[in-house]
Structure 1
Amino acid sequence: MVCIRKATIDDLLAMQACNLFCLPENYQMKYYFYHILSWPQLLYVAEDYNGRIVGYVLAKMEEESNECHGHITSLAVLRTHRKLGLATKLMSAAQNAMEQVYGAEYVSLHVRKSNRAAFKLYTETLGYKIHDIEAKYYADGEDAYDMRKQLKGKQIHGTGHHHHHHHHHHHHHHGHGHGHQHGGGCCSGGDSGSVAEIKAESKANASKSDSKVNEKSG
């Protein structure tokens, strides 16, 4: 049984490990921290019954544009856990939060032209449409489809194309069945007492770090 839950700061190393196994587009740890500190509601993980992170979605809000919209920075699911609908559930969780928490009008993402499996997921299952093609978007020179999905039933208006090369990318590359152990499983099974304790502990840690962040920004 795999469950989808909101990510915490304690999940970031396991998310980075999952990214390294699955995707050629990798990020420094500070980029993961930047996301979770800025948009804590937009990071989700898929966790198996052993408390192992087997997939994640890393997303953010694009604040500099004139229309409030979300962006999927990265999505990955380990090869061992494909075909379970996890990518769809992760994406839906992030999209819903963009709409409900931030009032996003649409969500955007980039996908490699050659990534047929991801393209199929986005167009057929999730309802994304090609908005533009960004030539040589990826480090190896491959083009990207710039895709968008409408939220809130509003029409997307073409507002000049912003070519920000923050290399954001997607799953369905070669993943291996490895992952880092992670405490605080939310799935049933295992020694429920210890899981509950770990959960309480990570909740306490999370709320401590939240209050620190609030003090700084306040």
Structure 2
Amino acid sequence: MVNIRVARVEDLPGMQACNLHNLPENYTMKYYLFYLLSCPQLSYVAEDEGRIVGYILARMDDDDKDKADKEAMGHVVSLSVMRTYRRLGLAKRLMIQSQEAMAGVHGAASVMLHVRKSNRAAFSLYKDNLGFTVHDVEKGYYGDGEDAYVMRCSLKGSDASAAAVV
């Protein structure tokens, strides 16, 4: 049985391995460590018999933290589930756990993420199952030059926030 729990420092090699198997973006261990230590309550792993089979790495966006009129916003840095564990709802469960922590711990009003324009499965998950909408397109966002959809979801007072507490 797959267990979802808060990520720990000792999970980082498993998270990185999951990323290397599934995503074209490869991050250094320093990258994972920085985000995990910056907001330890926001990142989760899916674990099956001690093996990391999925993860979400998240943070709070603090680009506008000096502006009093801006509401707190979470940011999904990376989400990955091993191929043999897909279509089991793990990505959705990881997202929901992280969104609940963003809202509950940090008072986030919304969450944003980037997704490759070619990644139809992820786009569908975010749009159709989690209530995200396309906010913008960032040209050449990825290292290979592919564009990214910038997607956002409200975490309060909407159908999306109801999904986040399922």
Matches of 1:8 and 1:101, distance apart in 2 = 17
Aligned-residue identity in percent: 61
Matches of 1:152 and 1:120, distance apart in 2 = 21
Question: What is aligned with 1:112?
Answer: 116
| AA in 1 matched with 2:130 | L
Deviations 1:146-168 (Å, cap 9, x if unpaired)? Answer: 000001228xxxxxxxxxxxxxx
1:78 to 65, 82, 85: 82
Pairwise CA distance, 1:33: 0.9
SS in 2 for 1:40: coil
Q: Over aligned residue pairs, what C-alpha RMSD do you find?
A: 1.0
Matches within 5 A, 1:57-68: 57-65=56-64, 66-68=70-72
SS in 2 for 1:41: coil
Matches within 5 A, 1:65-214: 65=64, 66-153=70-157
SS in 2 for 1:89: helix
SS in 2 for 1:10: helix
Pairwise CA distance, 1:136: 1.1
Question: What is aligned with 1:46?
Answer: 46
Structure 2: 5+ residue runs without aligned partners? Answer: 65-69, 159-166
Question: What is aligned with 2:30?
Answer: 30
Q: Which of the pair has the greater relative contact order for Cα pairs under 8 Å at 6+ separation?
A: 1
Matches of 2:38 and 2:145, distance apart in 1 = 30
Moved over 2 A (4+): none
Bigger Cα Rg = 1
- What is the number of equivalent residue pairs in this alignment? 153
| AA in 2 matched with 1:143 | D
Matches of 2:36 and 2:116, distance apart in 1 = 25
Q: Which protein has the bigger strand share?
A: 2
Matches of 2:91 and 2:141, distance apart in 1 = 23
Question: What is aligned with 2:21?
Answer: 21
SS in 1 for 2:41: helix
**Normalising to structure 1: TM-score of the pair?**
0.69
Question: What is aligned with 1:6?
Answer: 6
Matches of 1:122 and 1:80, distance apart in 2 = 20
Matches of 1:151 and 1:117, distance apart in 2 = 22
Pairwise CA distance, 1:86: 0.1
Pairwise CA distance, 1:29: 0.5
Question: What is aligned with 2:67?
Answer: none
Deviations 1:55-84 (Å, cap 9, x if unpaired)? Answer: 000000011223310000000000010010
| AA in 2 matched with 1:53 | I
